[in-house]
Structure 1
Amino acid sequence: MIRHEVPRALAALGLVGALAGCAVQGTAAEAGGGKTRVVATTSILADIVGNVAGDAAEVTGLIPPGADAHSYELGLRAVRDIAYADVVFTNGLLLEPQRLTRTVDTTVPEGTRVVPVAERAERHGFQPRLLVEDAGLDAPWLGLRVAVPEQDKAAVPKTAVADISLKHIDGPGDMAAYIVGTFGTPELLFNSADGLDEKDQTTLPIDAHTHVSWAFSEPGVYTITVGATARADINAEPTPLKDQTFTIAVGVNPHEVLPGADVITGGHVDITAEFGADYHGSIGLLGDAPGEGETSISHAYERAVIAVPSATLQEVPAGREYRFLGNPGDETYLLPQAVLGKHVHGEYDPHFWHDVNAVKAVVNLVRDELSAADPAHSAQYSTNAEHYVELLDALNADVKTTLDQIPQDQRNLVTTHDGYGYLADAYGLNLAGYVTPNPSQEPSPRDIIALTRTLENLHVPAVFLEPAAEGAPSDLVQVAGRLGVKVCTIRGDSLDPPGGGQAHSYIDFMRANAQSLSTCLSETKEKP
């Protein structure tokens, strides 16, 4: 056991006298009655760590149940706990406020490990999720491509090209496709507003692809028919390829459009003209999908729906160069170019605990760190971790069973901010919308409009609000109230405080959220 002195940083904080008044002396273990002293920042993390520690260590949470982990300020008692800790577990990935993080860094004794679990659990299989800075960018990248099968590449000259054209469109509004040049000037490829003719065509060489922005004037289901011709060079006679019709769900539930079809909600997908040595071929969808042991594989979609979520809603800019989209201030649903869109990310999502499998990775990390700090009890920590993982496996199965009761076309989750991506990914929910990506950001007028269209277009029966926000003014509650949408409870980053609620452990927390989601989303909201 490491022998600790009161850290010098406490003198800078003006707390040495206060700590002396507490009459805490000697080693941390002695102060904790002979047990290893462990500190965890959030109430959820403290419960997880406590299940691994058992009675071999004393675990203290810094942020009390019911408090906001993003903004909580530590008191004197919490600083004292840090000053005498043998191990400190933080969430990491910028969940805790900077003042709390700085206090931990300057107060922790020399030789005590500070473990940001969400950043260290990758070695146990946890993969952090990237947050997208703009909700409107969390959508597919739909481009155009020309491809030649591998066996025909030697026979097709490098001068070969394909002319890709929009031949027909059916839907509630108009569609335009364009690319943006270096200086932000749009180059129009297709535009149904002025009728389809020979100008709705673009030419690409073989093995080339281009990122495209796609704009839709109204929500609903669109079908577009794309054709192409193949040529050995720009002056050669064209050979027609087989046309293909694609289905695009704009602002509506894509799972209801073609039951059983692949629903493309993200990633890079290209409308592809493919032809061989005889210059015959067809149009199809070619995209990236994960493969076993690979980062990506080429994936051809035989039957698919391309999803354009309500979060892509934008206002038409005032510039004359964008007049083809409508008048300034008109609404348009816009799939942005990949190079300008999805590549723009913010920080990693710290809310890992909404996925039980992620918590299992953290449990294994906690086991290792406690064993390193207190080798005498490593066997006990291993046994405790093994038992807790068994409980988490049972919890994971129960959560899946509960959430599986939600009808497939009603699995749309709308919350205040982007804090539930792990939950959606792990349990088959659609993260349909939120007021803002980050709780520290004030929603813009466009955010509110996009939220309104999401609730209207998807006929969402319920939205979800954290307990701490209930009763306070809320844009989510106001929009839901106007549309007659029910407001239900979802727990975000804290256990329930003593005397309030029933989620006083992580397992109770997950069960409560699953039950609330299942009950509220299974209700049917009449469509107008």
Structure 2
Amino acid sequence: MGGHPRHTTTAALATVCALLTGAGATGCGGLQSGTSDAELTVSTTTAIIADLVGRVGGDRVDVTSVVPLHGDPHSYEPSPGDAAKVTEADVVFSNGLLLEEPGIMKMVHNNAPKSAPKIGIAEKLEQYGGTVMKLEEDLGLDVLWLGWAVEGEVDGDGSQVRTTATKLEGPGDLRVYLTDTLGRPKAYVNSADGFDDEDSFTLPPEAHTHVNWAFSEPGTYKLTVEGRTETLDGKTSRIGSGTFTFTVGGEAEAPKSAAVLDGGHADIALNAETGKVYVRADEQKTGARTHHPADEVVLNVPARAKESVPKEKAYGFLGEAGDDVWVLPQAVIGKHVHGDMDPHAWEDVANAEAYVRRIEDELIKADPDGKATYEKNAEAYLGTLGELDVEVAKKLATVPERNRKLITTHDAFGYLAKAYGMEVAGFVVPVPNQEPSAAEVEKLGDTIREKEVPSVFLEPNLAARSDVLKRVAKDQGVGVCTIYGDSFNDEIHDYVSMMRHNATELAKCLGGDA
């Protein structure tokens, strides 16, 4: 087992870490490659998992991360170099629970040796003493938040479901698109140039993605979609179709038998097992999930959803700058595919301990001769994490109860809030796909003022979209502080430093004792 040559990228990362450490940076240890005595070559999907594996594996493990320090696992698109690294892996660790962009997992399944275990750590977290919680998404938007989803299982490891728009009837055009963490749009459905197989989304089973829906004219539209499964060997199978009705620019007119959805969170969904196509909706009052057949629901895009096409060239596919367009917004920054369970479990340090126990167990299975080393390293690091858990709890306990509210750009902190007595109060930029209008900026200010928070929080990898947030925060007299969710950066590149920073920053910026 093992014996692969050292990865060039891993060696380079070790050199960078050495330079950073020499300059006063800390915590590169988990990302450095092992020594020449490494027995296992390990590939991980994220730098956070790479750090944890490195702490347990020590010199017996040579570990690299597919997503780089600054990368976003929700949207990172792997390169040929990433695929080359995975081909050499004895073991592959991912987070699971659909944290990773589907293209990452497809690359892993296509390139990792069949003999290499592929372990989604969080998917068995409770067996190792951790806890997993449902992902609660509620931005309080005043229009419908509509995504795409796949329910049901698909035969074949790594298989996905493609949902394709095949026909549109209506007074104008429809564009369905995603924006990345830097606000760059990518159209997936565009009726203006006709429909073909490119007008589609692919999702893994039991997954959901956020999207923007933009209609060019008011009126009634009927959109037909169909789904098919796609296996890794290129085989496809059609599984169902349906037609959905949208009313745009006014009050919804619908048959008495049809449900009208004009707010809350819903998805156009395809069931891969039954072939049924429907809208699944989360009831705004109860949170219960309901399913509406395609021909028994009307999706309303009201007059208040009217926007103007942004002036940036990247949005030219929507029409001429300044043209009217009616938009159901994406609501969450970045390409973001996920399931029902919140994947960001490491934000509770007690869960990080469960990650470590799972990693220890899997490394021992892959390299039994290293059992004593892995047990010793895991025991020592679990001691460190236990102390860290107490430190984070004590620091956040100093935050006055009235200030224990998190307003962030990304819903990655539910575990932190639950574990340490905080509240996720909302998101700072409700419409990230374009520069907010004066009315939206005012609304953002109202939200911050109503929550009465001393500060809002921005993740470093989303800093490029922070100008509006900083301006509104300044106008409201509140601070803008930094918190780490899915990724590291040049200043923070290990888990302990990340959680220590988060606790210190939260305590300082929310009025506690840092």
TM-score, reference length from structure 1 = 0.52
Q: Aligned letter for 1:511?
A: R
Q: In the superposition, relative to structure 1, how do residues 342 and 400 fare at CA in structure 2: closer, same or farther (>3 Å)? A: farther
| Displacement after TM superposition at 1:135 (Å) | 3.3
| 1:456-494 per-position Cα deviation (integer Å, ceiling 9, x unaligned) | 123211000011222435554343233222111111211
Q: Give the 5 Å matches for 1:211-222.
A: none
User: Does the alignment pair 1:100 with 2:48?
Assistant: no
Equivalent residue number for residue 68 of structure 2: 64
Equivalent residue number for residue 171 of structure 1: none
* Higher mean C-alpha deviation, range 36-45 or range 431-440: 431-440
User: Does the alignment pair 1:127 with 2:120?
Assistant: no
- 1:417 is paired with a residue of what secondary structure? coil
Decide whether the 8 Å contact of 2:481 with 2:509 is kept in 1. Answer: yes
User: Does the alignment pair 1:400 with 2:404?
Assistant: no
Select the residue among 497, 502, 507 that pairs with 1:513. Answer: 502
User: Does the alignment pair 1:114 with 2:118?
Assistant: yes
Q: Aligned letter for 2:397?
A: D
| Displacement after TM superposition at 1:92 (Å) | 1.2
Decide whether the 8 Å contact of 1:39 with 1:59 is kept in 2. Answer: yes
| 1:341-377 per-position Cα deviation (integer Å, ceiling 9, x unaligned) | 7999953211111110011111110011000000111
Decide whether the 8 Å contact of 1:414 with 1:434 is kept in 2. Answer: yes
- 1:400 is paired with a residue of what secondary structure? helix
| 1:486-509 per-position Cα deviation (integer Å, ceiling 9, x unaligned) | 111111211222xxx2x2211011
Aligned length: 307
User: Does the alignment pair 1:354 with 2:358?
Assistant: no
Equivalent residue number for residue 9 of structure 2: none
Q: In the superposition, relative to structure 1, how do residues 43 and 318 fare at CA in structure 2: closer, same or farther (>3 Å)? A: same
Select the residue among 360, 363, 371 that pairs with 1:378. Answer: 371
- 1:99 is paired with a residue of what secondary structure? helix
Q: Structure 2 CA distance, aligned partners of 1:66 and 1:504?
A: 10
Select the residue among 70, 77, 81 that pairs with 2:81. Answer: 77
Select the residue among 402, 406, 409 that pairs with 1:416. Answer: 409
Runs of 4+ aligned residues of structure 1 deviating over 6 Å after TM superposition are: 341-345, 436-450
| 1:211-256 per-position Cα deviation (integer Å, ceiling 9, x unaligned) | xxxxxxxxxxxxxxxxxxxxxxxxxxxxxxxxxxxxxxxxxxxxxx
| 1:285-322 per-position Cα deviation (integer Å, ceiling 9, x unaligned) | xxxxxxxxxxxxxxxxxxxxxxxxxxxxxxxx9689xx
Q: Give the 5 Å matches for 1:197-216.
A: none
Q: Aligned letter for 1:521?
A: L
Q: Structure 2 CA distance, aligned partners of 1:126 and 1:412?
A: 24
Select the residue among 444, 451, 460 that pairs with 2:453. Answer: 460
* Higher mean C-alpha deviation, range 120-129 or range 104-113: 120-129
Select the residue among 362, 376, 391 that pairs with 1:369. Answer: 362
| Displacement after TM superposition at 1:446 (Å) | 10
Q: Give the 5 Å matches for 1:26-37.
A: 35-37=39-41
5+ residue gaps, structure 2: 5-34, 142-249, 254-261, 263-282, 293-337
Q: In the superposition, relative to structure 1, how do residues 516 and 121 fare at CA in structure 2: closer, same or farther (>3 Å)? A: same
User: Does the alignment pair 1:470 with 2:463?
Assistant: yes
Decide whether the 8 Å contact of 1:416 with 1:435 is kept in 2. Answer: yes
Decide whether the 8 Å contact of 1:37 with 1:57 is kept in 2. Answer: yes
Equivalent residue number for residue 487 of structure 2: 494
Equivalent residue number for residue 383 of structure 2: 390
- 2:377 is paired with a residue of what secondary structure? helix
Q: Give the 5 Å matches for 1:280-291.
A: none
* Higher mean C-alpha deviation, range 430-439 or range 403-412: 430-439
| Displacement after TM superposition at 1:50 (Å) | 0.6
Decide whether the 8 Å contact of 2:40 with 2:367 is kept in 1. Answer: yes
Q: In the superposition, relative to structure 1, how do residues 339 and 86 fare at CA in structure 2: closer, same or farther (>3 Å)? A: closer
- 1:89 is paired with a residue of what secondary structure? strand
- 2:508 is paired with a residue of what secondary structure? helix
Q: Aligned letter for 1:404?
A: A
Q: Structure 2 CA distance, aligned partners of 1:319 and 1:383?
A: 64
Q: Structure 2 CA distance, aligned partners of 1:343 and 1:520?
A: 42
- 1:66 is paired with a residue of what secondary structure? coil
Q: Structure 2 CA distance, aligned partners of 1:129 and 1:492?
A: 16
| 1:396-448 per-position Cα deviation (integer Å, ceiling 9, x unaligned) | 11111111111111111110121110110111111111147998999999987
Equivalent residue number for residue 12 of structure 1: none
| 1:114-142 per-position Cα deviation (integer Å, ceiling 9, x unaligned) | 001111222113222212343349xxxxx
Q: In the superposition, relative to structure 1, how do residues 445 and 98 fare at CA in structure 2: closer, same or farther (>3 Å)? A: farther
Query: What's the C-alpha RMSD, in Å, of the aligned pairs?
Result: 3.9
| Displacement after TM superposition at 1:66 (Å) | 1.7
Equivalent residue number for residue 522 of structure 1: 511
TM-score, reference length from structure 2 = 0.53
Q: Aligned letter for 2:340?
A: E
Equivalent residue number for residue 86 of structure 1: 90
Q: In the superposition, relative to structure 1, how do residues 72 and 346 fare at CA in structure 2: closer, same or farther (>3 Å)? A: closer
Q: Structure 1 CA distance, aligned partners of 2:341 and 2:370?
A: 34
Q: Structure 2 CA distance, aligned partners of 1:379 and 1:399?
A: 30
Q: Structure 1 CA distance, aligned partners of 2:417 and 2:371?
A: 35
- 1:96 is paired with a residue of what secondary structure? coil
Q: Structure 1 CA distance, aligned partners of 2:431 and 2:93?
A: 24
Q: Structure 1 CA distance, aligned partners of 2:393 and 2:361?
A: 29
Decide whether the 8 Å contact of 1:435 with 1:447 is kept in 2. Answer: no
Q: Aligned letter for 1:86?
A: D
Q: Structure 1 CA distance, aligned partners of 2:77 and 2:405?
A: 34
Q: Which has the larger radius of gyration?
A: 1
Equivalent residue number for residue 337 of structure 1: 285
Q: In the superposition, relative to structure 1, how do residues 396 and 438 fare at CA in structure 2: closer, same or farther (>3 Å)? A: farther
- 1:362 is paired with a residue of what secondary structure? helix
Decide whether the 8 Å contact of 2:461 with 2:487 is kept in 1. Answer: no
Q: Structure 2 CA distance, aligned partners of 1:446 and 1:419?
A: 27
Q: Structure 1 CA distance, aligned partners of 2:462 and 2:502?
A: 16
Q: Give the 5 Å matches for 1:240-279.
A: none
| 1:150-209 per-position Cα deviation (integer Å, ceiling 9, x unaligned) | xxxxxxxxxxxxxxxxxxxxxxxxxxxxxxxxxxxxxxxxxxxxxxxxxxxxxxxxxxxx
Q: Structure 2 CA distance, aligned partners of 1:505 and 1:455?
A: 31
5+ residue gaps, structure 1: 5-30, 138-316, 321-328, 330-334
| Displacement after TM superposition at 1:76 (Å) | 3.4
- 1:393 is paired with a residue of what secondary structure? helix
Equivalent residue number for residue 186 of structure 1: none
Q: Structure 2 CA distance, aligned partners of 1:486 and 1:97?
A: 32
Q: Structure 2 CA distance, aligned partners of 1:442 and 1:359?
A: 37
% identical equivalent positions: 41
Q: Structure 2 CA distance, aligned partners of 1:437 and 1:378?
A: 49
| Displacement after TM superposition at 1:77 (Å) | 3.2
